[in-house]
Structure 1
Amino acid sequence: MITITILTLCFLAALSCKIKKAHSPVLQVLLWYLHLFFGCFAGLCLLLMLNNYGFKGTQTERIFFTLYAGTGMLLYGLTKPDNDARYAYLLCFFGFPFVLLLGLLIPPLRTITLVAAITFLSDSEFQRYNIDDDYALQTKTTNILSTYPAYSLVEDKYLFFEKITPDVVTPRTTLHSLKMLKRGQDSVWIRLNNRDTVIALGN
């Protein structure tokens, strides 16, 4: 719920600033620096995710994306109305909840909007089971979208990063019992709910 909580607080703060016509040049400059900072990390996270990499931690990327969007909302609340591209850019962050609400009210778009809202706003549940110091089996559960967790192999990489290999266990099933045994340096044996799987490990 951290994503919805942060974005809700930022949205309400931005709405309050708009209603009160608050204006603070110093705070606005500081927020722009923070917004650009989180924007750079959000862009880096996106590039890493496209290549099955990520920062260490299960929710790190989502936090960067959330803070990027949240600071955009706050900046909109402190920015005077204008017709320039920067104001339109900030309006996209503040207007996102209204777009979702409009989509939910229009029957043909309701399903697509609901899936998009869950994807962007719902925090998945993660659990990691260590294989050794460098590898772990990760389960990711998004209860509304799927009743079964997705299984990924997580490999420690380059100090601050990790490589994530998705869908290493198929078919998906609820985890009841788990046993793992590393075989040499190139594979790991997994018994998941009395079903055996061998996963190859990277170099």
Structure 2
Amino acid sequence: MITITILTLCFLAALSFKIKKAQAPVAQVLLWYIHLVLACFAGLCLLLMLNSYGFKGTQTERIFFTLYAGTGMLLYGLTKPDNDARYAYLACFFGFPFVLLIGLLLPFLRTITLVATITLLSDSEFHRYPIDDDYALQTKTTGILSTYPVYSLVEDKYLFFEKITPDVIAPRTEVHSLKMSKRGQDSLRIQMNRGDTVIAVSF
């Protein structure tokens, strides 16, 4: 629940800044620089995700997105009310929890809002089974949204990045016993729960 914890703390801090009408020009400028750097990383993460790539690590992208949104909330709390685009941009971060709350209160939006909330704020559970130095089989479980984990093939790429190929095992099932072995140079044999799956890879 790292995502919810960070965003909750940032929201409460921003609310406190607003109530106390806090003024910290130096901290505000520093936060803007941090926020812009995180915005660049968040944009890069989104671009990589659209192309089935990502930074190394199971939660790296989520951390960038969370810190990006959190710094936006903090900046809203430190910024004086104005009618310019910058203030409206920051208000979007601070107002997001209220949008979710309104969605949960309206019956016709409740289901959609609940799914969106779990998807955006719930930390998925990951587990990786190493194959060799460059490949691993990854399972991802997202709470009540999926009964069984999603299986992905993770390939080490370009020092800081990795390529993720989802749904390499179908149908999905829980892991009870897992064995993996190479078949030649271009395929991998996966034995799981008394069933065999062969997927093509390029070692």
Please indicate the TM-score interval, normalised by the length of the shorter structure. Answer: over 0.9
Partner of 1:107: 107
Partner of 1:16: 16
Aligned counterparts of 1:144 and 1:34: Cα–Cα separation in 2: 34
Deviations 1:73-131 (A, max 9, x none): 00000000000000000000000000000000000000000011001000000000001
Aligned counterparts of 2:84 and 2:185: Cα–Cα separation in 1: 57
Aligned counterparts of 1:135 and 1:146: Cα–Cα separation in 2: 25
Aligned counterparts of 2:186 and 2:32: Cα–Cα separation in 1: 47
Partner of 1:188: 188
Give the drift of 1:182.
1.0
Aligned counterparts of 2:192 and 2:71: Cα–Cα separation in 1: 43
Partner of 1:40: 40
Aligned counterparts of 1:137 and 1:105: Cα–Cα separation in 2: 40
Partner of 2:76: 76
Q: How does 1:1-203 map to 2 (within 5 A)?
A: 1-202=1-202
Aligned counterparts of 1:63 and 1:95: Cα–Cα separation in 2: 20
Aligned counterparts of 1:150 and 1:195: Cα–Cα separation in 2: 17
**Helix, strand or coil for the counterpart of 2:10?**
helix
| Corresponding residue pairs, total | 203
Q: Could you list the runs of 4 or more consecutive aligned residues of structure 1 that deviate by over 6 angstroms after TM superposition?
A: none
Aligned counterparts of 1:185 and 1:91: Cα–Cα separation in 2: 53
Give the drift of 1:147.
1.4
Deviations 1:121-179 (A, max 9, x none): 00000000001110000000012101100000000000000000000000010111101
**Helix, strand or coil for the counterpart of 1:196?**
strand
Gaps of 5+ in 2: none
Relative to the length of structure 1, the TM-score reads 0.99
CA RMSD of aligned residues (A): 0.7
Deviations 1:45-79 (A, max 9, x none): 00000000000000000000000000000000000
Aligned counterparts of 2:130 and 2:25: Cα–Cα separation in 1: 49
**Helix, strand or coil for the counterpart of 2:144?**
coil
Aligned counterparts of 1:202 and 1:152: Cα–Cα separation in 2: 15
Aligned counterparts of 2:184 and 2:17: Cα–Cα separation in 1: 60
Percent of aligned pairs with the same amino acid: 84
Relative to the length of structure 2, the TM-score reads 0.99
